[in-house]
Amino acid sequence: MLALVSRAQAEMKLPTILSDHMVLQQKQSDPIWGWDAPGTKVTVTFAGQTKTAVAGSDGKWMVKLDSMPASVTPQVVIITGTSRIEIQDVLVGEVWVCSGQSNMEFRLGKDPNGDLEAAVSDLPAIRLITVPPKGCQELLNDFKGEWKAATPETARNFSAIGFLCGRYIHQMLHVPVGLIENHWGGAAAEAFVPRPAIDRDPRFKRLADSAAKMEAELLPAMATPGLPPA
């Protein structure tokens, strides 16, 4: 049993954003990272490139691929360490993060013309992934989700603004497009900034003081049995 546990802990792990059907950004150095047993040599091969790294004491490793031109030809990222992982059907093109509040959250299918727009969106070179809303005070290093090619169904359930913008980019530049949906209706911009960065910047002192006051008032009430969360 102990041997099985040790083996499971040593297996390589990649973040969700690096998975089948993803898009890498063209014309820049793209990071590929993950976790493996500390001290493990990790090799990444893609599009004729081979890069190596060594997992640190925390298990994390990272390599950076050389800049590449856009490519609609599906390729495979091969990663070897304590185990071997192949990321299938990888394209190179434009990658955009679709972030904001409820206007970015608004689904294509809810637009009056949404069904028509979705019907003409069977576009396999456009890839979509959604980051689920999850509030926390500490940085997360992963999330649950998956890349999917644009189809009438996946487009209908994606951000209207994000998808239409991505489709225009695809049609104008004739390159693959990856869209990362990361929004939360009513969220403030500072909610997407690491808390320590706000606390140590004097320009945001008023904001930090206001947040601290709100926490001091709300957290005790939320911890009191029988009281609903504020």
Sign of the alpha-carbon torsion through 68, 80, 86, 36: negative
pLDDT at 224: 59
CATH of domain 2-183: 2.60.40.10
Contact 73, 64 (CB under 8 A): no
Please report where in the chains the tokens 């493996």 appear, as a residue.
36
Q: Residues in the chain, how many?
A: 230
Is pLDDT above 60 for 24? yes
**Angle at the Cα of 128 from the Cα atoms of 64 and 20, rounded to 5 degrees:** 55
Residues 92, 125: Cα–Cα separation, whole Å: 10
pTM, full prediction: 0.85
Name the band, by pLDDT with cuts 50, 70 and 90, for residue 225.
Answer: low
Mean predicted confidence (pLDDT) in 46-53: 98
Reported as a single tens digit per residue, the pLDDT across 73-95 is 999 999 999 999 999 999 999 99
Name the band, by pLDDT with cuts 50, 70 and 90, for residue 2.
Answer: very low
Name the band, by pLDDT with cuts 50, 70 and 90, for residue 223.
Answer: low
Contact 90, 23 (CB under 8 A): yes
The bridge status of strand 71-80 relative to strand 60-65 is unpaired
Percent of the chain with pLDDT over 70: 91
pLDDT at 9: 53
Reported as a single tens digit per residue, the pLDDT across 177-194 is 999 999 999 888 777 788
Name the band, by pLDDT with cuts 50, 70 and 90, for residue 15.
Answer: very high
Contact 76, 98 (CB under 8 A): no
Based on its alpha-carbon atoms, the radius of gyration of the chain, rounded to whole angstroms, reads: 21
Greater confidence (69 vs 190) lies with 69
Mean predicted confidence (pLDDT) in 116-133: 97
The ranges assigned to domains in the chain are 2-183, 193-223
Greater confidence (139 vs 172) lies with 172
Is pLDDT above 50 for 136? yes
